Structure 1
Amino acid sequence: MFIHLGGEKIIRSAELVAIFDLSIEKSSKISRSFIVEANKTKQIEVISEEDSKSLVVTTNKVYYSPISSTTLKKRAHQLLTH
């Protein structure tokens, strides 16, 4: 199964680790540290030129998605329940 993250980016649902609202980047010291480290190792990908609304963590990358975390979580949940 696959999850559409916005733009032309689709990931395998098996790669999904977590979906966060973008506000976590500013509200958590641990999250900021995680993002800084992912940036250093070139594991960050901005999906669209639109404003990012969520962070999607996979086994290989961290994606900045223009789709809200609520919508992405619903998509992921639908895959898990079918």
Structure 2
Amino acid sequence: MFIHLGGEKVIRATELIGIFDVSIEEISKISKQFVEYAHANQFVETIGEEEPKSLVVALDKVYYSPISSTTLKKRAKNLLTNLSS
């Protein structure tokens, strides 16, 4: 199964680690350090031209997505529900 992150970006559901609101960078010191590390090591990809609304952490990359974290979490939940049916 796959999750659409916005634009033309789709990742495997098995690669997904976490979905966060982009404001987490400002709220949490450790989150900010994590994102700075990802930037420094070129593990970050910004999807599309729109203002990022969510931060998606995958196994090999951190994505800035223009889709809200709430919407992405619903998509992930729907995938899990469909898998267990």
Give CA deviations for 1:35-64 in whole Å, capped at 9, x if unaligned: 000001100000011000000000000000
Secondary structure at the aligned position of 1:81 is classed as: helix
CA distance in 2, matches of 1:52, 1:15: 20
Q: Matched residues, percent identical?
A: 65
Q: TM-score, normalised by structure 2?
A: 0.96
CA distance in 2, matches of 1:79, 1:39: 29
CA distance in 1, matches of 2:49, 2:23: 18
- Aligned partner of 2:76 in structure 1 is 76
Task: Specify the code of the residue in structure 2 equivalent to 1:76.
Answer: A
Give CA deviations for 1:16-53 in whole Å, capped at 9, x if unaligned: 00000001011100000000000011000000110000
Superposition deviation, residue 6 in structure 1: 0.2
Task: Specify the code of the residue in structure 2 equivalent to 1:27.
Answer: I
Describe how 1:22-33 pairs up with structure 2 within 5 A. 22-33=22-33
Larger radius of gyration: 2
Superposition deviation, residue 3 in structure 1: 0.2
Q: TM-score, normalised by structure 1?
A: 0.99
Runs of 4+ in 1 over 4 A off after TM superposition: none
- Aligned partner of 2:66 in structure 1 is 66
In the alignment, structure 2 segments of 5+ residues that lack a partner are none
